[in-house]
Structure 1
Amino acid sequence: MNAPRAEGLDASVARAKVSAAGRARDFSHCGLQEALDSARALVPRLRERAKATEQARRMLPETIDDLNASGLLRFVQPRRWGGMELPFESLVRIPAELARGCTSTAWCVGNWAIHHWMLALYEERAQSEIWDQDPDALIASGIAYPQGSAQRVEGGYQLSGRWSFSSGVDPSPWNMLAALLRDGDQVVDYLMCLVPRADYEIIDDWHVLGMSGTGSKSVKAQQVFVPAHRALSMLRARGGREFPGAALHDNPLFSIGLSTMGTHCLVGAAIGNAQAALDLSIEWVEQRSTSYQSLKMRDLPT
């Protein structure tokens, strides 16, 4: 049974507008505090679903629905596409809040958020292909290591490889896959390749003790064609205005180097998980009675 909808989330959903043409909701009016309130309102439901999420080894559809309704899957997406475009700190604070309910969910939300930020670094054509069709589109990744290999071909690149730890891959229609670009035996660049779901295989190998709900499975692609506009050169992605998408978005958020930005999206899940452990420990101590004195532990002097 689902927990009752919290007031903060309902208010956020009510403010989310859908046009007569059926376009996705526009969250460009949402600020950081509103997003944090929505995340906080989701915590009881996420906590209720946490066990089922771990057992499913992926994000539950109802959780995706709640996150979409609140706009929390688009909190760093550029306003140009209807996203919140929240400041840098949101990458830590929002996942930290969500992790108080479910760490796996917070981990995936942080990953999906940073991938929205990364898509904003690509050429406008790549952004349009995804966000014009579906502004809510989720993007997984295989970027922990450049486990793929790419070669130049006419109009783009040919990509092959197997990538580990593609968190949130099951509900994601796109993936960002890292590859070494070779010229013969020499590595000449590092590419972040945008690949649609039809062009790669999900390998069901994520069987772990903790955070199984992230669904961080491996993916595999073989001789997939990647158009040039869907490949981002990582030698250019070092910050400043060298990003192809930098001319499209004035916000300095989209001029930060990937190595600086990337890992912050994962910190929040750890912080929120620790806070949840503390919250639950305090709750347990407040309720527990002693064995022989029938006193509440909270009332004991030591």
Structure 2
Amino acid sequence: MGVVVEKNIAVPSTEELVQRARAMIPWLREQAESVEENRAVPPSTVEAFRRAGFFRILQPAAWGGYEMNPESFYRVVMEVGRGCPSSGWTLAILGIHQWEFGKMDPRVGEEVWGSDQEVLVSSSYAPLGKARKVEGGWMLSGKWPTSSGSEHAPGGAFLGARVYDEQGDFRDLRSFLVKREDYELIDDWHVVGLCGTGSKSLKIKTEAFVPEHRSHSFLDYQLGHGAATYQLPFNQVFSGVISSAIVGFAQGMVDVFIEHTKPKQNQFALGPNPAKNPFVQEKLGTAMLQIRSARGRILQCTQEAWAYAERGELVPLDVRVQQFLDVQATGKDCFSAGHMLFKKSGARGIFLNTPMQRQLRSLLAACNHITQNEDDFSAILGAFMLGEPIPPGVFGVPAPMQT
């Protein structure tokens, strides 16, 4: 069956989508505690995101999507993360995959969305699977951790694996879209933060066949088909959405801190009340600076890359290297901001029913994501600026061995 491009799709503006997300914040905050207790975002929340059009933001127009700039989705995720970190994270993960479809063979979109354009897929990109090449595709096996929102994803899952040649040398890092019936979910999500994301492990039952057109390289960055948004590099777009969620968590801490601090009166004989304490004021101002700086870097990098994509050009390597670090440093800056505020929240911040600690624990968990590894990447960028080569398998497919 051929791909039929949808006509007359009512595409909302970015500002309208952001306002829809912002309007959800009070409701999301009300249910955040129950989301953690149940260890998963409820179907009603996913349905609310669906009705708001959030899952269509990056979906190709051929299947009813808006195929917008990732900046639009990032800004929505930032707002949702302010209200409920687990809900924001689940939206980020389930909503970014629609963009990945735009990078792939159109047959994949038709297979998943041919009869239902609202089907979601999950993922676990950690390259822990074993992939072997066969005629017409790949055989994939293994077990993958932390597939966020997997209970809401009947369309299958993108799973990662390293590919080696016959000599055992690393050749590629690939994503494989596996059908839902080919794997089982393992309920092992018992964690300190982002407790409500339902990030269960996936295990392929025996060995799954994945046709060639349902796989793509993470590393082989090339111009593809379709709109400008699908010409952007995978690692930047995916890292950007994780970082956007983290910005939302940190901004949520600011929101709660201000609410808790404004009405408080000092209970001790000496010193001003917290709202008039210059040290509290300074920490709040510094935290806001760090969060806005991280947010600004994400959006600026997206805008810079978008200019190349609109011209039909690859984002140059030197730009990608710098942007990758810009985005990866989000976790460091936002956790620092959140921790400063937590230290100034007093004893009330440590109670489990206080939103402050939920936001901080979510920051703690999210900042351990591989996309927030700013230490290693600072060294890679520094070496690159001094004329050293990029390690193989970071921004490109390793060159063939010379014989």
TM over 0.5: yes
Q: Does 1:285 align with 2:288?
A: no
Amino acid in the other structure paired with 2:30: E
Q: Is the 8 A contact 1:28 1:82 kept in 2?
A: no
SS in 2 for 1:208: coil
SS in 2 for 1:288: coil
Amino acid in the other structure paired with 1:154: E
What is the root-mean-square deviation in Å for CA atoms of aligned residues? 2.2
Q: Does 1:274 align with 2:214?
A: no
Cα distance change on mapping 1:178 and 1:28 into 2, 3 Å: farther
Q: Is the 8 A contact 2:25 2:82 kept in 1?
A: yes
Give the Cα–Cα distance (whole angstroms) in 1 for the partners of residues 148 and 277 of structure 2: 46
Cα offset, 1:74, TM superposition: 2.0
Residue equivalent to 1:147:
128
Give the Cα–Cα distance (whole angstroms) in 1 for the partners of residues 173 and 276 of structure 2: 60
Structure ranking higher on relative contact order (CA contacts 8 Å, 6+ apart): 1
Cα offset, 1:183, TM superposition: 4.2
More strand by share: 1
Structure 2 spans left out of the alignment, 5+ residues: 1-5, 279-403
Runs of 4+ with >6 A deviation: none
Residue equivalent to 2:189:
206
Q: Is the 8 A contact 2:261 2:275 kept in 1?
A: no
Aligned length: 267
Residue equivalent to 1:226:
210
Amino acid in the other structure paired with 1:200: Y
Identity of counterpart residues, as a percentage? 34
Cα offset, 1:98, TM superposition: 0.5
Moved more, 35-44 or 106-115: 106-115
Counterparts of 1:98-177 in structure 2, within 5 Å, are 98-143=80-125, 145-173=126-154, 174-177=156-159
Cα offset, 1:235, TM superposition: 4.4
Cα-to-partner distance string for 1:268-289 (whole Å, 9 max, x where unaligned): 1111111111111111122323
TM-score normalized by the length of structure 1: 0.82
Give the Cα–Cα distance (whole angstroms) in 2 for the partners of residues 257 and 155 of structure 1: 26
Q: Does 1:29 align with 2:11?
A: yes
Cα offset, 1:91, TM superposition: 3.6
Cα-to-partner distance string for 1:5-55 (whole Å, 9 max, x where unaligned): xxxxxxxxxxxxxxxxxxx9x865212111101101111111111111111
SS in 2 for 1:191: strand
Pick from 30, 41, 45: which aligns with 2:23?
41
Cα offset, 1:298, TM superposition: 7.1
Q: Is the 8 A contact 1:151 1:183 kept in 2?
A: no
Q: Is the 8 A contact 1:104 1:212 kept in 2?
A: yes
Q: Does 1:215 align with 2:191?
A: no
Cα offset, 1:297, TM superposition: 4.3
Q: Is the 8 A contact 1:99 1:105 kept in 2?
A: yes
Cα-to-partner distance string for 1:162-183 (whole Å, 9 max, x where unaligned): 1122111111111001122344
SS in 2 for 1:146: strand
Amino acid in the other structure paired with 1:64: V
Residue equivalent to 1:84:
66
